[in-house]
Structures are given as structure tokens and as C-alpha cells.
């Protein structure tokens, strides 16, 4: 309840999460039928990077601030286009003042038949999120603990969906809670595509987290990680990861192109790295760089 994403909006972790979310949405849209995005920890939906909070940390400068004018090859540019075009649409005069959170980004990429369910527990943030989508019949905004949504709001009536779980990691047991939440949600909606975000930092129980996930009775789990700096002498965030359950068959190859490009542009020191690998399922991996 103390976490406020405005301090971190648009940082390198948001970039990885939102690039992959955009790819998942585009894949879902290859079929005519509608689908639902369930965002369990939605935040306020849209962030003004000119505000004091965002300027205080300046994290977006080392995230989205490095990408808008970057020179990518044609293949990577095509993969990034849904994400970057949404940001350009929010900033028609150029530059980067407004940055979309996950619910806003998803809504901007939707077709008429696609739907959003966004959960936010923080009272003030819920009010702002609700106001952002007020009158939008494609979006349902609920003041609710996102962990509860993994039971109460699944499966979606569309029977197709992306479930984004992006907790603030304020508590020490959040990695375990994330695994338990996935297990519960998967039992209710085994055909869904799940995207779970987690932080990388010194001392984080990543190995144990991965082993817990591997022990679940879930056939396909793809993992993508991006580290932008060394954790030597640093207690804060040095990278972030995503676990994608039931990933599109195209995603592994897309990560093979995207991760090296993101690492090259977002690296903060020479220790930056990336990796993508199967926790369960296929045994082929994208090598570290």
C-alpha cells in the first residue's frame, strides 16, 4: 500500500514488461475473437513524467528515455512498434511527458472486441484509475486486492485472456506469493496466457523462485530476464524478469531479437546481460550476451 509507481514509471523494468505485453496482445489479435486482459496491480494507468515524483528519481531517463530516438534494425523496430507507437500517440508534440501504465497501454492496443479488467487496491490510485477509464465500456475497474482477482475473476467470459501479475514486492514473501497465485489461477484458467513480473536484485531468491515454479504442474513456462547493471555495492533494482505461461510459439524467437537490442540501449554498465530460457517445456534457450 506504500508503493507508488510514479517514481518508477517508464524505467527499464517497465520497458521490458510493456514490450512483452504488447507482443502478447498482438499475438492474441491474430484471431478474430475478443479476449480480456486482467491486470491485477494496475496502478493509476497513466503517468505524467514531468511531475516532481518522476523527476526526483529520473528512472525513466534510463528506460523509455533511451528508446524513443534509438536506431534499431528493421526487425526489432517492427517488434517494438506497438509499444512505441502508443507512447508517441500520447505525446503528439514530441518528447516524453506521458507514459502509459499496463492498463492504458493494453487499452490503446485493443480492437473493439477486446476488454480490460484492472484491479487496484490503493484508494487514491483506484480513484485516478477509475477516472481515467470512466465511461469506457471496454474497461472494468475494480477496487480490489489483485491477488484475490486470480480467483474471483477467472476464467474470463471470453475464454481467452492475458493475466498480468505485477505486484510491488513490498513484502519478503512476494516471490512465494507470486508462485502460489499462479498455481491457483492456472487451476481456474489453464488456457490463459500469464505474464508474471519479478525484480532482480542482490540477495533475491531467484533460484528458489524458479524451482518453485518448475515444481508446478504447468507444461510451458518461458522466462525472460534483463539486467542493466552489476549488483556490486547496490541494494536496489539491477534487473527484472518475466515468466510467461502458455507463451505464443513466436515469443521465444522474438525475445532472441528484442533482448539483445534492449540490453544494448538500456545498459548502465558493462555487466548488463540478458537471458531467455524455458522453465518448463522446450529445452532451447536464448543465450546470455
CATH number of the domain at 209, please. 3.40.50.150
Please list, in sequence order, all residues whose beta carbon lies within 8 angstroms of the beta carbon of residue 45, skipping any fewer than 6 positions away.
Answer: 100, 101, 103, 104, 118, 128, 129, 132, 133
Residue 84 and residue 72 in contact, taking contact as beta carbons nearer than 8 Å: no
186 in a structural domain = yes
Q: What is the pLDDT of residue 289?
A: 46
Lowest mean pLDDT segment, chosen from 7-16, 153-162, 211-220: 7-16
- Helix, coil or strand: residue 131: helix
Is residue 287, in this structure, part of any structural domain at all? no
Residue 88 has pLDDT above 90, yes or no: yes
The answer to the question of whether 166 is labelled as a binding residue is yes
Pair 1, 122: CB distance under 8 Å: yes
Give yes or no: 253 in active site: no
User: Tell me: the pLDDT tens digits for 143-155?
Assistant: 999 999 999 899 9
Give this prediction's pTM. Answer: 0.95
Q: Is 122 annotated as a binding residue?
A: no
Would you say 102 is a known binding-site residue? yes
Question: Annotation-wise, does 253 bind a ligand?
Answer: no
* Count of domains observed in the chain: 1
Considering the chain, what is the average pLDDT of its residues?
A: 93
Give backbone dihedrals phi and psi of 11, rounded to 5 degrees, phi first.
-75, 180
Model pLDDT for residues 122-134, shown as the tens digit of each residue:
999 999 999 999 9
Give the pLDDT confidence of 235-283 residue by residue, as tens digits: 889 999 999 999 999 999 999 999 999 999 999 999 999 999 999 997 6
End-to-end C-alpha distance for the chain, whole angstroms: 37
Does 288 fall in a domain? Answer: no
The answer as to whether 139 is a domain residue is yes
Contact 245, 186 (CB under 8 A): yes
Q: Which of 62, 125, 166, 173 is catalytic?
A: 166
> Is 146 a known ligand-binding residue?
yes
Range of the domain at 248: 5-280
Amino acid at each position: 500500500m506504500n508503493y507508488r509507481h510514479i517514481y518508477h514509471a517508464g524505467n527499464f523494468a517497465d520497458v521490458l514488461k510493456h514490450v512483452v505485453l504488447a507482443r502478447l496482445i498482438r499475438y492474441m489479435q491474430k484471431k478474430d475473437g475478443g479476449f480480456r486482459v486482467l491486470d491485477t496491480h494496475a496502478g493509476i494507468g497513466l503517468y505524467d513524467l514531468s511531475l516532481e515524483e518522476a523527476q526526483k528519481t529520473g528512472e525513466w531517463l534510463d528506460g523509455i528515455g533511451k528508446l524513443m530516438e534509438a536506431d534499431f534494425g528493421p526487425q526489432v523496430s517492427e517488434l517494438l512498434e506497438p509499444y512505441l507507437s502508443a507512447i508517441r500517440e500520447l505525446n503528439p508534440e514530441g518528447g516524453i511527458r506521458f507514459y502509459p501504465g499496463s492498463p492504458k497501454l493494453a487499452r490503446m492496443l485493443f480492437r473493439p472486441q477486446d476488454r480490460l479488467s484492472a484491479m487496484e487496491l490503493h484508494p487514491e490510485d483506484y480513484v485516478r484509475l477509475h477516472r481515467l477509464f470512466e465511461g469506457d465500456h471496454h474497461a472494468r475497474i475494480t477496487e480490489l486486492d489483485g491477488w484475490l482477482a486470480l480467483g474471483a475473476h477467472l476464467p474470463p467470459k471470453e475464454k481467452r485472456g492475458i493475466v498480468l501479475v505485477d505486484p510491488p514486492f513490498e513484502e519478503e514473501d512476494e516471490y512465494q506469493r507470486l508462485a502460489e497465485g499462479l498455481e491457483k489461477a492456472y487451476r481456474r484458467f489453464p488456457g490463459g496466457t500469464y505474464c508474471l513480473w519479478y525484480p532482480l536484485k542482490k540477495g533475491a531468491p531467484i533460484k528458489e523462485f524458479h524451482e518453485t515454479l518448475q515444481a508446478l504442474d504447468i507444461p510451458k513456462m518461458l522466462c525472460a530476464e534483463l539486467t542493466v547493471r552489476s549488483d556490486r555495492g547496490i541494494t536496489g533494482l539491477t534487473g527484472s524478469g518475466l515468466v510467461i505461461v502458455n507463451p505464443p510459439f513466436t515469443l521465444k524467437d522474438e525475445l532472441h531479437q528484442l533482448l539483445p537490442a534492449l540490453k544494448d540501449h538500456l545498459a548502465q554498465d558493462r555487466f548488463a546481460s540478458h537471458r531467455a530460457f524455458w522453465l518448463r517445456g522446450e529445452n532451447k534457450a536464448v543465450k546470455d550476451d
